[in-house]
Amino acid sequence: DWSASSFVDTTVAALKEQVGNDRVILGLSGGVDSSVAAVLLHRAIGKNLTCIFVDHGLLRKNEFKNVMHDYECLGLNVIGVDASDKFFKDLEGVTDPEQKRKIIGRDFVEVFNAEAHKITDAKWLAQGTIYPDRIESLNITGKTIKSHHNVGGLPEEMHLSLCEPLQWLFKDEVRRVGRELGIPEHLITRHPFPGPGLAVRILGDITREKVRILQDADDIFIQGLRDWMVKDATGNDIALYHQVWQAGAILLPVQSVGVMGDERTYERAVALRAVTSTDAMTADWAHLPYEFMAKVSNDIINKVKGVNRVCYDISSKPPATIEWE
Ligand code: XMP
């Protein structure tokens, strides 16, 4: 019978043995897996672990700042790299979804490697790869491969060895290990978020202005899910956020007519997506309460300049996907 505490004990001991006094580099994404891998390694080797967190400018509102703060509270040594200028420049005018992913994957590896190269005595590259990732990367769909999480990002001429302490774990086990390590609950229960970030939730070309609009709308939706309490199956209060596998806003490439005061408006439409799932392979649209949707829709239209219409996506996967791109 698997237990998180014995996993932590044996893995910390094994990592000490494996890595010894070598220096290790690890890429953080803000997600659960890389965070748990980092804290586990930090417990084993302390200051010999250096983490790199690249900001491509396509994260959620305030995410980079908030997550950096969380990492610092956990005692991790993290180098935060704001590379958003490079990503926005390289993405300028690009509308094709796969092209966006390619550019982001390539830029990500470039930025990460440039930073890793500064740590000249590093011997290991650690990653938060979990068991389903390894299965998934055998399945060459192009879309499910997480280019910045896999071995493709390894700076070859640095001769780093790969260290993947979570490679045999499933997601729920990673979460239990994270709790055992004292990682805060909001980091552990965070929804999945795609590596290319908001780039695949802005249909059409990407600009800083569009990212700003989407971040604001998305933030209202996500904060709303966190604040809206419902009863779970056993009658306990639970935030709607935790009844949903994943949620987010999508900026549509259409404008529509509206009215504000006596003025006609011609502004953007935002789609909201929330799904229930157990593994992201299949998903159903979440049956969110109407009162909740009414409030979120009002808040978005009243507070986010440039948006005058909100739609809710009621498509299941398959045949739709969770993301729109
Ligand atoms: P789809 O849209 O294929 O998404 O139903 C399934 C899950 O994968 C996430 N996703 C990605 N994650 N890089 C990632 O790291 C990507 O390019 C990517 N595309 C989709 C998506 O958010 C969902 O959890």
Tell me the CATH number at 233. 3.30.300.10
pTM tops 0.80, yes or no: yes
Atom of ligand 1 nearest to the CA of 324: 2
What is the per-residue pLDDT for 132? 85
Q: Is residue 105 part of a domain?
A: yes
Cα 228 from Cα 226, distance rounded (Å): 6
Own/partner contacts of 227-234, CB < 8 Å, gap of 24 or more, are: 228/289, 228/292, 230/289
- The answer to whether residue 196 is domain-embedded is no
Report how far ligand 1's centroid is from the alpha carbon of 45 (Å): 32
Is the beta carbon of 143 within 6 A of some atom in ligand 1? Answer: yes
Q: How many domains does the chain have?
A: 2
Whether residues 180 and 222 share a domain: the answer is no
Report the C-alpha gap between 136 and 104 in whole angstroms.
20
CA 257 to ligand 1 center in whole angstroms: 32
Confidence at residue 143, expressed as pLDDT on a 0 to 100 scale: 46
Q: Confirm or deny that 30 is annotated as ligand binding.
A: yes
The verdict on 121 and 217 lying in the same domain is: no
**Residue 297 is labelled as binding a ligand:** no
In a domain, 74, yes or no: yes
CA of 43 from ligand 1 middle (Å) equals 30
Q: Which domain holds residue 174?
A: 4-188
Q: What pLDDT was estimated at residue 157?
A: 67
Please check whether residue 323 lies inside any domain of the structure: no
Q: Are residues 306 and 184 in the same domain?
A: no
* Residue 213 within a domain: yes
Looking at the fold, whether 177 and 234 belong to one and the same domain comes out as no
- Same-domain check for residues 94 and 216: no
Residues in the chain predicted with pLDDT less than 70, given as ranges, are 136-157
Ligand 1 atom 11, closest CA: 194
The answer to the question of whether 147 is labelled as a binding residue is no
Question: Looking at residue 176, what is its pLDDT?
Answer: 97
Question: In the listed set 188, 218, 247, which residue is the last one of a domain according to the structure?
Answer: 188
**248 annotated ligand-binding residue:** no
Whether 299 has a binding-site annotation, put simply, is no
Task: Verify that 20 and 91 share a domain, yes or no.
Answer: yes
Same-domain check for residues 69 and 166: yes
Q: What is the CATH number of the domain that holds 110?
A: 3.40.50.620
* CA of residue 323 to ligand 1 center, whole Å: 7
Domain annotation covers residue 321: no
First to last CA, the chain: 40
Q: What pLDDT, in 10s, does the model give residues 17-36?
A: 999 999 999 999 999 999 99
Residue 266 Cα to ligand 1 midpoint, Å, equals 32
Of the residues 144, 159, 188, the one at which a domain ends: 188
pLDDT of residue 155: 59
Q: Determine whether the annotation assigns residue 153 to a binding site.
A: no
Does residue 295 line the site of ligand 1, with CB under 6 A?
A: no
> Is residue 86 domain-shared with residue 182, that is, in the same domain?
yes
Same domain, 237 and 137: no
Question: Could you tell me if residue 280 is inside a domain?
Answer: yes
Note the pLDDT of residue 156. Answer: 65
Residue 300, domain member (yes or no): yes
Final residue before a domain boundary, out of 153, 188, 223: 188
182 and 52 housed in the same domain: yes
Q: Whose CA is nearest to atom 22 of ligand 1?
A: 194
Q: What is the pLDDT of residues 264-303, one digit of tens each?
A: 999 999 999 999 999 899 999 999 999 999 999 999 999 9
Three-state SS sequence of 32-69: HHHHHHHHHHHHHHHHHEEEEEEECCCCCCCHHHHHHH
Q: Are residues 223 and 151 part of one domain? A: no
Indicate which atom in ligand 1 lies nearest the CA of residue 101: 17
Report the separation in Å between the CA atom of 325 and the middle of ligand 1, taken as the mean of its atom positions. 9
Q: Looking at the structure, tell me whether residues 152 and 9 fall in a common domain.
A: yes
In the 3-class helix/strand/coil scheme, how is the chain assigned residue by residue? CCCHHHHHHHHHHHHHHHHCCCEEEEEECCCHHHHHHHHHHHHHHHHHEEEEEEECCCCCCCHHHHHHHHHHHCCCCEEEEECHHHHHHHHCCCCCHHHHHHHHHHHHHHHHHHHHHCCCCEEEEECCCCHHHHHHCCCCCCCCCCCCCCHHHCCHHHCCEEECCCCCCCHHHHHHHHHHCCCCHHHHCCCCCCCCHHHHHECCCCCHHHHHHHHHHHHHHHHHHHHCEEECCCCCEEEHHHHCCEEEEEEEEEEEEEEECCEEEEEEEEEEEEEECCCCCCEEECCCCHHHHHHHHHHHHHHCCCEEEEEECCCCECCCCCCCC
